[in-house]
Copies of this chain bind each other. A is one copy, B any other.
Amino acid sequence: MATKSKSTTTKETLQLRRLGIDTYHENVAYLHRECEVYRAEGFQALSKVKICANGRRILAVLNVVDDDSIVTPTDLGLSEEAFAKLGISEGHLVSIEHAEPPASMNAVRRKIAGERLTQEDFHHIISDITDTRYSKTEISAFLVATGQTDMDRDEVFYLSRAMLESGEQLDWNESLVVDKHCIGGIPGNRTSMLVVPMVAAHGMLIPKTSSRAITSPAGTADTMEVLADVELDIKKLHDIVRKHRACLAWGGKAELSPADDIMIAVERPLGIDSLGQMVASILSKKLAAGSTHLVIDIPVGPTAKVRRMGQAQRLRKLFEFVADQLGIYLEVIITDGRQPVGFGIGPVLEARDVMQVLQNSPKAPADLRQKALRLAGRVLEFDPDVRGGNGYAIARDILDSGRALDKMNAIISAQGEQSNKFELGQLTHEVLSPADGVVIEIDNLQMARIARFAGAPMDKGAGVDLFKKLGDKVEKGEPLYRIHAEFPSDFNFALTLCERDIGYLIGKEDQIPKAFVEF
């Protein structure tokens, strides 16, 4: 090649600046429109740039800035997550380049065109997603392309394995490491905080790492945090598990299936939650956490994630197939998902329900107790010394004798008792029955939204306390539930939502939908 005019051989450089902007799981770079080194608008339409410094490189979406107080024409700004990812200090010189679209987007395009993808395709896609090479629009394209109708069970297995391999994997050095997991969608369904102490009291290893809520009003980690510290480093986690056979910790500190976290941040707001993606997400996470035996809870009901028995059965088969391929022992239990479990929705309220069950309090919600016993019973039967069918009785004995409560208290003090005393939100509002009759429907989605709008899980004392459950008799004007909030703005959001739809239907006994399962 011959160059007639002199080419500048040194790399153009800008000064790196960290911008205090949290762009939520997407790298964003900020370049001044008048930047003299690079033509900001030339990059923008192609949507992504590669930022290089000190041998490190990240991809980012480009925003063009017109305000010198945000970035100057000689700066390159990065959002907080992008800055952390690049890992170079402020003021360092950086260069930018046109980003190639991630090579694996070709596979996504083939999927859009209806092709079946190979194990290698999924590996490349997930590895690019883990390296944040995908923009949110590209992740959205992948999620839709692999949605419900378009992934066969082998592909779900490939996706699960690729996600598993994208992160760390815990190894507990035991042959029987148990866990339970619910596919979600049912508010108040805090059975893990009961199953874990029961199973550990029996001596089985159940190192439970849970997520925080993303779009729901409380995750197990949010609720456990009302009682104990949940952000444990990996060494402390191991020490606790070795001593107590269990923990109830937040899983975010260990990098388990990081691709899953990135995809969920796009998937949840979109409201697309395909069965294949759900199976891959759950199984990759559980296997990464070191589980060998797993009970999966699939609630079925008119406002649950799974609405019909046929769909639940298909999901069960898919779980079983992929688990077998991955080499994890799995049992699926289909449960009653017609209404929230327990009385409380929101961290403080749910922690109260859990502790009342452990304390064998007469005020304890019977449905939460029953469900936890059934699940714990099935987990206990993974123990080769427990005879099939005896798990439930063993679990009940552990709970009734107070051994589950003792184990819970031991776990709490090992993780560190919560030093903040979280109280119920002081802004309250009671929603009254509009008619005489019986409760014939409680909308899981609407109750979750009301609790969420009231401030849960961010404000631990916010949420909804249910006074009436399915089948309960009510009189007109009698309170159905109480909303708790800590902040006036959240309180108003929740009230406005209630005014549109209280989430309860009052009718006649025979209008109550039948449970698909006796549970």
Contacts and interface: CB of A to CB of B under 8 A. Distances in A.
The 6 A-B pairs with the shortest beta carbon distances in the complex, nearest first, are: A20-B67, A20-B66, A47-B269, A140-B140, A137-B140, A144-B144
A246 interface: no
Contacts of A20: 65-67, 70
A267 to B, nearest CB: 9
A491 interface: yes
Contacts of A490: 39, 42
Contacts of A30: 21
A271 B105 contact: yes
Contacts of A47: 24, 269
A453 B5 contact: no
A488 B430 contact: no
Contacts of A430: 1-4
Interface string A135-159: 1111111011101110000000000
Interface stretch (A106-114, A229-237, A291-299, A323-331): A106-114
A250 interface: no
A414 to B, nearest CB: 29
A262 interface: no
A84 B498 CA distance: 33
Interface in A100-145: 101, 105, 109, 112-114, 135-141, 143-145
Given A98-B493, A113-B148, A5 B141 contact: no
Interface in A334-364: none
Interface in A443-501: 452-453, 455, 458-459, 479, 487-493, 495, 498-499
Interface string A355-380: 00000000000000000000000000
A64 B80 CA distance: 10
A488 B7 contact: yes
A33 interface: yes
A266 interface: yes
Given A7-B427, A269-B47, A493-B97, A498 B1 contact: yes
A431 interface: yes
A8 B42 contact: no
A24 B1 contact: no
A69 interface: yes
Contacts of A272: 109, 112, 141
A268 B144 CA distance: 17
A144 B148 contact: no
B144 A140 contact: yes
B428 A5 contact: yes
A215 interface: yes
Nearest to A502: B1
Contacts of A392: none
Interface string A401-435: 00000000000000000000000001111111000
Given A21-B30, A39-B487, A45-B269, 14 more contacts: A2-B479, A5-B427, A5-B429, A8-B488, A21-B70, A24-B62, A24-B64, A39-B489, A46-B215, A63-B79, A97-B493, A101-B269, A113-B149, A114-B149
A7 B479 CA distance: 18
A115 B463 CA distance: 37
A270 B64 contact: no
Contacts of A109: 271-272
A22 interface: yes
12 contacts: A1-B499, A3-B429, A3-B430, A4-B430, A8-B488, A22-B65, A38-B489, A42-B452, A46-B215, A66-B80, A105-B271, A137-B140
A161 interface: no
A41 interface: yes
Contact of A453 (B63, B98, B143): B98
Contacts of A70: 19-21, 70
Contacts of A135: 269
Given A4-B430, A39-B458, A489 B12 contact: yes
A67 B498 contact: no
A37 interface: yes
A179 B62 CA distance: 36
A74 interface: no
Contacts of A2: 429-430, 432, 479
A169 interface: no
A498 B2 CA distance: 12
Interface string A88-101: 00000000011001
A491 B291 CA distance: 54
